[in-house]
Amino acid sequence: MATVVELPIETYKGPVDPDWCPGCGDFGVLKSVQQAAGACGVAPADLMIVSGIGCSSNLPGFIHAYGVHSLHGRAVAVATGIHLANCDLKVVITGGDGDGYGIGIGHFIHAMRRNLDITYVVMDNQIYGLTTGQTSPTTTKGHKTKSTPKGNIEMPLNPLALAITAGATYVARGFSGEQKHLAEIIAGAIAHKGFSLVDVFSPCVTYNKVNTYPWFKERVYKLEDQGFDPTDFDASIKKSFEWGEKIPLGVIYKRQSDTYEDLDPILQRGSLVKQSLGLDKETMQSFIGELI
């Protein structure tokens, strides 16, 4: 086993300071991603951060690493392409509940069933923050928002149960108000071989006045403090539905399984960017010329 050389958080300080609202939970997520990458010894040149659209999706601009700020709901698709082209990169997707669990849910499900070796950190504030406070896929029933002034009539999506049943092999929940704990969860996700989902309670202090820091602090508890076994499928499913007076944090489900990259005969030869195309220079240049 290779020795991990931890890197200081300063290694990942981006050239631009975050411009989120003061108190936004995304500040804690950014720090946690930086600390997690450092704990795993992933150098900035080996780290790719991909996002979609939304407040949280600005994160790639605030961290020193490769980054792509892609299209709304397409972060997983873009990350998949990057990862399959260069499996040597550590690819981390950062986005929000609207981007990932709304318009992007199709890509989300198929990436999990393929068990791609990608980490997805979703800043779940249960509201559309960038567009000023509409109902999102995880907004609780009855919640009054700009788009549901009489109360949300839809059942919220359960991302943890969906991830477990769709094929993700590392499923966890964190809270930006427990930043050190969150960093440990994300580090575990990055180190895990397979698709990792980290759903993060990241309060929107501007538009969500229900699911606030105090609201979560009264309810969340850490699974590891109770000796929970995340390899127990049935117990994990049960925990994924626990909501109300008590809400679990930590690794909810974890298993080892072959990844898509392990089984694909072409990728077994190594990253595509390092494989020969078998084309002479003249033919290659003609292809490039047709595309530009």
Which residue from 155, 148, 122 is spatially nearest to 133, judged by alpha carbons? 148
In a domain, 4, yes or no: no
247, two tokens: 């809400």
Mean pLDDT of 73-78: 97
What does the mean pLDDT of the chain come to? Answer: 95
The amino acid at residue 269 is R
Rounded to whole angstroms, the Cα distance separating 106 from 78 reads 13
Task: Tell me which residue range forms the domain holding 217.
Answer: 9-291
Write out the E strands in 102-164.
Answer: 119-124
Mean pLDDT of 122-126: 97
In a domain, 2, yes or no: no
Q: Where on the phi/psi map is residue 126: left (φ > 0), alpha (ψ -120 to 50), or beta?
A: left
Which residue from 158, 122, 121 is spatially nearest to 138, judged by alpha carbons? 158
pLDDT interval class at 249 (50, 70, 90): very high
Asked if residue 276 has pLDDT above 90, the reply is no
Rounded to whole angstroms, the Cα distance separating 270 from 272 reads 6
In a domain, 114, yes or no: yes
Which residue from 130, 163, 169, 109 is spatially nearest to 20, judged by alpha carbons? 130
Asked if residue 57 has pLDDT above 60, the reply is yes
Mean pLDDT of 274-286: 87
Which residue from 202, 90, 61, 77 is spatially nearest to 69, judged by alpha carbons? 61
Asked if residue 266 has pLDDT above 70, the reply is yes
In a domain, 108, yes or no: yes
Residue 169 φ/ψ, nearest 5 degrees: -105, 0
Dihedral of the CA atoms 200, 196, 117, 57 (nearest 10)? -20
Mean pLDDT of 34-56: 97
Asked if residue 98 has pLDDT above 60, the reply is yes
pLDDT interval class at 153 (50, 70, 90): very high
Rounded to whole angstroms, the Cα distance separating 5 from 236 reads 32
In a domain, 1, yes or no: no
| Residue 241, domain CATH | 3.40.50.970
pLDDT interval class at 224 (50, 70, 90): very high
pTM, 2 dp: 0.94
| 160-173 confidence digits (pLDDT tens) | 999 999 999 999 99
In a domain, 221, yes or no: yes
Rounded to whole angstroms, the Cα distance separating 283 from 141 reads 58
Asked if residue 2 has pLDDT above 70, the reply is no
Task: Give how many domains the chain has, as a whole number.
Answer: 1
77, two tokens: 């698709």
Asked if residue 1 has pLDDT above 80, the reply is no
Concatenated DSSP letters for 210-235? SS-HHHHHTTEEEGGGGT--TT-HHH
Q: What is the pLDDT of residue 228?
A: 97
Q: What is the pLDDT of residue 3?
A: 79
Asked if residue 236 has pLDDT above 60, the reply is yes
Q: Which residues contact 47 (CB under 8 A, 6 or more apart)?
A: 12, 37, 65, 66, 89, 90, 92
Q: How many CB atoms within 10 Å of residue 196? A: 29
Burial classification of residue 265, based on how many CB atoms lie within 10 Å of its CB (0-12 exposed, 13-18 middle, 19 or more buried) = exposed
| Block residue for tokens 């980054």 | 67
In a domain, 224, yes or no: yes
In a domain, 257, yes or no: yes
